[in-house]
Amino acid sequence: MKRYLPFIIVVAVALITLGSGFALYRSKKLPAPTAASGVASGTHVRGKADATVTIEEFGDFQCPPCGMMSGVLHKLVDDYRPRLRLVFHHFPLAVHAHAREAALAAEAAHQQGKFWEMHDVLYKEQSLWSIASDAPTLFVGYAKSIGLDVDRFKKDLAEREVAERVDADQKLGSSRGVTSTPTLFVNNVLVPANQIGPDGIKKAIDTALAEKGKEKR
pLDDT in tens, 28-52: 333 455 544 344 446 899 999 999 9
Q: Are strands 183-186 and 189-190 parallel, antiparallel or unpaired?
A: antiparallel
Q: Is the pLDDT of residue 14 over 80?
A: no
Q: Is the pLDDT of residue 17 over 80?
A: no
- Please count the other Cβ atoms lying within 10 Å of the Cβ belonging to residue 211: 13
> What tens digit of pLDDT does each residue of 85-94 get?
999 999 999 9
CATH of domain 44-216: 3.40.30.10
Residues 178/59, Cβ–Cβ less than 8 Å: no
**189 band by pLDDT with thresholds 50, 70 and 90:** very high
Q: Is the pLDDT of residue 68 over 50?
A: yes
Q: Is the pLDDT of residue 180 over 60?
A: yes
Q: Is 186 helix (H, G, I), strand (E, B) or coil?
A: strand
**10 band by pLDDT with thresholds 50, 70 and 90:** very low
> What is the Cα gyration radius of the chain?
22
What is the end-to-end Cα distance of the chain in Å, rounded?
Answer: 77
Q: Is the pLDDT of residue 215 over 80?
A: no
pLDDT at 2: 43
| Domain extent listing, the chain | 1-30, 44-216
pLDDT average, residue stretch 132-150:
97
Higher pLDDT, 20 or 189: 189
Higher pLDDT, 153 or 25: 153
